[in-house]
Amino acid sequence: MPNPFTVQDFAARLARATEAAARAGLSGLLVTPGPDLVYLTGYQPVAITERLTALVLAPDRPPTMIVPKLERPDAEGAAGAGALTLTDWVDGEDPYAAAVPLLDPQGRYAVSDAAWAMHLLGLQEALPATAYVPVTRALPMLRAVKDADELERLAAAGAAADQAYHRILQVPFAGRRENEVAADLAALLTEFGHSQVDFTVVGSGPNGANPHHEADDRVIRAGDTVVLDFGGLKHGYGSDTTRTVHVGADVPEEVRTVHEVVRRAQQAAFEAVRPGVACQEIDRVARAVITEAGYGEYFIHRTGHGIGVTTHEPPYMVEGEEQPLVPGMCFSIEPGIYLPGRFGVRIEDIVTVTETGGWRFNSTPHDLAVVH
Ligand code: ZN
Ligand code: ZN
Ligand code: ZN
Q: How far is Cα 56 from Cα 18, in angstroms, rounded to an integer?
A: 9
Q: Is residue 352 part of a domain?
A: yes
pLDDT value of residue 16: 97
Q: Which domain holds residue 237?
A: 148-371
Residues 157, 53 share a domain = no
DSSP for 41-53? HS---SS--SS--
Q: Is residue 272 part of a domain?
A: yes
What percent of the chain stands above pLDDT 90? 98
The Å distance, Cα 323 to ligand 1 centre, comes to 20
Q: How far is Cα 245 from Cα 227, in angstroms, rounded to an integer?
A: 7
The Å distance, Cα 198 to ligand 1 centre, comes to 13
Average pLDDT over residues 126-142: 96
Question: Residue 191: pLDDT band by 50, 70, 90 thresholds?
Answer: very high
Residues 184, 69 share a domain = no
Question: Residue 247: pLDDT band by 50, 70, 90 thresholds?
Answer: very high
Q: Is residue 195 part of a domain?
A: yes
Residues 299, 244 share a domain = yes
pLDDT tens digits for range 194-211? 999 999 999 999 999 999
Q: Is residue 265 part of a domain?
A: yes
Buried b / exposed e over 38-59, threshold 16 CB at 10 Å, is bbbbbbbbeeeeebbbbbbbbe
Residues 68, 167 share a domain = no
pLDDT value of residue 297: 98
Average pLDDT over residues 43-56: 93
Q: Which ligand is nearest to the CA of 302?
A: 1
- CA distances, 47 to each of 37, 71, 80, 171, 331 (Å): 14, 10, 19, 36, 28
DSSP secondary structure letter of residue 241: E
E strand or H helix that includes residue 108: strand 108-111
Q: Is the pTM of this model over 0.75?
A: yes
End position of a domain, from candidates 81, 110, 138? 138
The Å distance, Cα 140 to ligand 3 centre, comes to 18
How many angstroms separate the most distant Cα atoms in the chain? Answer: 69
The Å distance, Cα 94 to ligand 2 centre, comes to 42
pLDDT averaged over the chain?
97
Q: Is residue 12 part of a domain?
A: yes
Helix, strand, coil content of the chain in percent (nearest 5): 35, 25, 40
Average pLDDT over residues 218-227: 98
CATH number at residue 110: 3.40.350.10
Q: Is residue 179 part of a domain?
A: yes
Q: Judging by beta carbons within 10 Å of its beta carbon (0-12, 13-18, 19+), is residue 92 exposed, middle or buried?
A: exposed
Residues 133, 157 share a domain = no
* 160 SS3 class: helix
Residues 180, 126 share a domain = no
Q: Which ligand is nearest to the CA of 242?
A: 2
The Å distance, Cα 198 to ligand 3 centre, comes to 11
The Å distance, Cα 350 to ligand 2 centre, comes to 9
Q: Is residue 2 part of a domain?
A: no
End position of a domain, from candidates 138, 168, 190? 138
Q: Judging by beta carbons within 10 Å of its beta carbon (0-12, 13-18, 19+), is residue 13 exposed, middle or buried?
A: buried
Residues 172, 82 share a domain = no
Question: Residue 113: pLDDT band by 50, 70, 90 thresholds?
Answer: very high
Residues 71, 180 share a domain = no
The Å distance, Cα 211 to ligand 1 centre, comes to 6
The Å distance, Cα 333 to ligand 3 centre, comes to 8
Measure CA 77 to chain center. 26
Contact between 79 and 7 (Cβ < 8 Å): yes
Give me the sign of the Cα torsion angle 286, 342, 244, 199.
Answer: positive
End position of a domain, from candidates 92, 109, 138? 138
Question: Residue 3: pLDDT band by 50, 70, 90 thresholds?
Answer: confident
Enumerate the β-bridge partners of residue 56: 30, 64
Locate all alpha helices (DSSP H) within 169-250, ordered by sequence.
178-191
Count: domains in the chain: 2
Q: Is residue 193 part of a domain?
A: yes
Residues 133, 154 share a domain = no
* Residue 344 one-letter amino acid: G
CATH number at residue 334: 3.90.230.10
Instruction: Please say if the pLDDT value at position 1 is more than 90.
Output: no
Average pLDDT over residues 189-196: 98
- CA distances, 160 to each of 56, 172, 202, 361, 368 (Å): 36, 21, 18, 10, 20
Residues 364, 219 share a domain = yes
Question: Residue 269: pLDDT band by 50, 70, 90 thresholds?
Answer: very high
Residues 164, 134 share a domain = no
Question: Residue 48: pLDDT band by 50, 70, 90 thresholds?
Answer: confident
Neighbours of 231 (CB within 10 A): 31
Write phi, then psi, for 90 (nearest 5 degrees).
-110, 145
Q: How far is Cα 182 from Cα 105, in angstroms, rounded to an integer?
A: 50
Residues 201, 98 share a domain = no
